[in-house]
Chains A and B, each alone.
Chain A
Amino acid sequence: MTRPSDATPTSKPRSFIANNPSVLWFLLALALFTLGVTALSEATGSGVISTSFVKTLGKTLCLCLIAIAMDVVWGYCGILSLGHFAFFGIGGYAIGMWLMYARTQAIVVENLSASVIPPTPAELSDAIASQIFGVVGASEFPAIWAFSHSLVLQLAMVVLIPGLLALVFGWLAFRSRVTGVYLSILTQAMTLALALYLFQNDSGLRGNNGLSGLQNIPGFEQVPQAQISMAFFWASAVALGLGYVMFAWVLRGKFGNVIRAIRDDEARVRFLGYHVESYKLFIFTLTAIVAGIAGALYYPQAGIINPGEVAPIASIYLAVWVAIGGRGRLYGAVIGAALVSLLSSWFTGGGAPAINLGFYTIQWTDWWLVLLGFSFVAVTLFFPGGIGSLFDKLVRRSS
């Protein structure tokens, strides 16, 4: 579908980087950040940054990655998708299935090794299944777990299932020219349907319980969490960097112009002879795949995934991040996602000091959402360019 992203800068490095200086700046900032965190972490450095905070930062990088995808599909192509967290969640479930299967298998094999008569393969599989699905009262593997024993196949699923879902859904929606708020609501319906499906106990994905214990990586049980989280932090940083470069490359030049033109006047692009639906489908599917990859990196760091993660509200928050960060700028999406999600965990985690007004004490755990809601309205009204537009002003003033 896409050319491997590492090949892109080498094909014509000068002109691409020269035309997109922000890519260079972004990669530099990301590298500095990653090295800084590495130097301060418990696993590899001075230990100023706790392992749990490294995990938070790693997760934030994954959120930045899906935020870029959202920015491409909304800020550049004008499709306000309220369903991209569905793809994120699917990526998480796909990798989570392998993590859970492999780990449970190890435990079950260990337990059964004590029995006098060695188990048959069917007995082994049944034991793993009842271990995993006991919570929902099942003891057999559902069909969708057919590939869960294979890391390679489940990794393929991380890419294929979001991609195929986006392809089918997008093809249906774009073909019948559903646009604007209709499309937004349709994508919201998609993620709601997925969430409701996952909430069922017989969905084959443990219903409400979701998949858990994902922070334990099979084969690396002896490695301390500090190092595992560092590895995932690095993987997330690399993924974010590659994703950024890939999208910047895709959106460079004429292809980017067509995408932006579709956002501004879809009908006109059609009369220019471009098959608008194919372009939208390409962007929708590509961003869905990136969202799936981001999810596959996120959930091993979070340790648990449950259906609540793909509820419609999550995807709306994604749009909020991108809007606050500034649409139509890849770095804007990164800033918005990082800022809002970190602030949010600071405020709701009780990190922010309460404000005593004398007659009333503002507890931020209670008032953060009110603040976020109204500041979001304010950004939309007075600051439609978001935080990213500040950079534009800076650049304009310096030149």
Chain B
Amino acid sequence: MLRVVFAALMLLFLPLSATAQDFQTLLQVHKDEIAKPSRRSVGPVLAELVASGHPALPAFLEAWQGKNVYQRLSDGLFFYIEDHGDTITLLDIETRNVSAQNVAAGTLDQIKPNGGVRRAIGEALVQFRLSAPDPAQRREALDAISRNLDPSQLGPLQASIADEPDAVLRLRKERLANYLIARFGDTSEARVAAIENLSDDLSVDGRAVLSQILRTRLTAAQNLPDDANVARILTPGDENLSRSAAYDMLVAQAGLPPIVTDQDVLKTIEANIDGGRSGGVALAAMTSWDMRYRTYDTLADQGLAPPRVTDLDAILANWTFAELYEETDTAVTTAATRIQESVATRVAFSQTVDIGLDAVSLASIYFLAAIGLAITFGVMGVINMAHGEFIMMGAYTGYVVQLFIPDYTLSLIVALPLSFAVTFAAGVAMERLVIRWLYHRPLETLLATFGISIALQQLAKNIFGTQARPLTSPGWLDGAWMINDVIQIAYIRIAIFVLAVLFLGLLLFVLKKTRLGLEVRAVTQNPRMASSMGINPDKINMLTFGLGSGIAGIAGVAIGLYAKVTSEMGSDYIVQSFMTVVVGGVGNVWGTLAGAGLIGVLQKWIEWLNPSNTLAAQTYMILFIILFIQFRPKGIVALKGRAAGD
């Protein structure tokens, strides 16, 4: 009972305490300084406002700085406004609620602080936000600073470091402060020290700081000043400065006559046509530039056009062209150049590692896509052109499972074995119905499975439509693992890598440690002998084909997770899978692994050499494979001796 009374009393008192901190009242204390601020008077006002810690303050400071605060002339109260053209709505300065409507513009005065005041407000704002209680606001403030580094931010930033409770933000603040010192520090020594600190910073921001310090300006001078901080001297005519560009600089700088362009030549000739001739030359004869120049020179001699500049080289020889650092302190530029080089080396190294990881992830996809093919090819000598469609079938199985099970993690757990089962069944069916009748006719098998491939592809199109279907990965597979600012690898790719390793292990176990594996190896190496030893090759073939197809189904789910599921996705992988098998060598898990690794690394490497053109990369890779087969027709890991059947 007592408690209820107490609560009621509290409720009564609440509005009172709110009025006590009314923002408008706080502002009215400094009404005149706010309405007509000057660089001198604004400092103490800002300090007091900041000290109040009022939650509406940041928004007000921003509006004040942005000339969005108005004062009502009648009572001097401050408002935000909504401008409707002919009428104006007044908004409360604290809550932004509507205070009055249909106010005439003449009754208000817009507050327009000058540049110096606005800068002071900005500093206060940053300082204020840098120590705001909400970490998100502090983070925003840091983002704002790093977007546009400005010397004025250094003081507030450094002041806020000591009280920063969040370790991550503190680190960021220190880093930003270091950037600011590197660029705007007071002494040469402080800046060089800050620049040295950047040597292990591979982030884009850190690298931007260095390149901003090293910004240059192209200059032409007859004599370079002694104190110029020269980045490099340019010779007109080399790849960095064409002769005409160099001359154009002189035209702008020293008022030399502009160059006569080919366009000008043609215009002048056209302007002086007289009865099919110009400058005394027949127009029909002007099919060469030699003749055109001569005509122009004639016209120029007659004073009809400015003469052509003919001694370009002699003029250019009198001038020195150089890129000068905007930074005049040579100690700073020297340090920055040195650090930039070392950062570049580290970045290059990291990029190599990054490409390596990309290659590994690509290789694991190729491995998954190709291993099923390798098994069927190795054991049965059968090229399954419909293998790609089994991959597609697995991916669509995953998609259908997601239609029924909305939880992505659970649906993935269901989809993996289910897609294996579906494609295993499809593979066994295909083996029983078609392939079994075509043994010892490998080329016909190739074509018959191709027939199945086009039929399956079109069937999928008829059932699921032509647009891509999503196979969404669970939330915990989103995002990427950032190793540093350059090296990062998506979790989904790590998952595919793990899947590939699992299957490698599983296959090795099945092939080396189980009865089935023993029989499969026996059939691979000598089918006739195996069958005379009581191994039923029919059963082995069926199971192997099912196994190979089932793995294709799993590969389909894996590929579907990071690419789209379409009816044509199989054909995107089939040729690469063939290449992987052929390069690796038939009938050997390690061979397929080697093939996938080689092709993955090669493809990434060529893409890196020629990043703008992935098509060219693929072209070169295929050409390489064609050549590779010439020298190792049996692949990297080849069966030897009579077992190879040659």
A residues near B (Cβ < 8 Å) are 74, 80, 116-121, 169, 172-173, 175-178, 180-182, 184-186, 188-190, 192-193, 196-197, 199-200, 202, 312-313, 316, 319-320, 323, 366-370, 372-377, 380-381, 384
Contact = CB atoms under 8 A, between A and B. Distances in A.
B626 A117 contact: no
Interface in B607-621: 613, 615-616, 618-619
Interface of A is mostly: helix
B456 A118 contact: no
Contacts of B456: 373
Given A120-B289, A184-B446, A367-B458, A377 B452 contact: yes
A314 to B, nearest CB: 12
Interface of B: 266, 269-270, 273, 283-284, 286-289, 292, 377, 381, 383, 385, 434, 437-438, 442-444, 446-448, 450-459, 461-462, 571, 575, 578-579, 582, 613, 615-616, 618-619, 622-623, 625-627, 629-631, 633
A180 B446 CA distance: 10
B270 A116 contact: yes
29 contacts: A74-B443, A117-B270, A118-B284, A118-B286, A120-B287, A176-B629, A181-B381, A181-B443, A182-B582, A182-B629, A182-B633, A184-B383, A188-B578, A189-B622, A192-B622, A193-B626, A312-B575, A313-B571, A316-B450, A367-B462, A368-B458, A369-B455, A374-B455, A375-B451, A377-B448, A377-B455, A381-B438, A381-B448, A384-B444
B268 to A, nearest CB: 11
B390 to A, nearest CB: 15
The residue in A74, A186, A374 that gathers the most chain B C-beta atoms within 10 A of its C-beta is A186
Q: Which 6 residue pairs of A and B lie closest in terms of their CB atoms, listed nearest first?
A: A373-B455, A376-B451, A369-B458, A193-B622, A373-B454, A380-B448
A200 B616 CA distance: 7
Contacts of B622: 189-190, 192-193, 196
A377 B443 contact: no
A189 B619 contact: no
Contacts of B629: 173, 176, 178, 182, 186
Contacts of B448: 376-377, 380-381
A313 B454 CA distance: 10
Contacts of A320: 447, 450-451
B458 A376 contact: no
Contacts of B615: 196-197, 199-200
A351 to B, nearest CB: 18
A96 to B, nearest CB: 20
The residue in B288, B448, B579 that gathers the most chain A C-beta atoms within 10 A of its C-beta is B448
A74 B270 CA distance: 66
Contact of B434 (A196, A367, A377): A377
Nearest to B622: A193
A104 B377 CA distance: 51
A80 B385 CA distance: 14
Contacts of A313: 571
Contacts of B454: 369, 372-373, 376
Contacts of B286: 117-118
B575 A189 contact: yes
Contacts of B455: 369-370, 372-374, 377
A193 B385 CA distance: 19
B626 A190 contact: yes
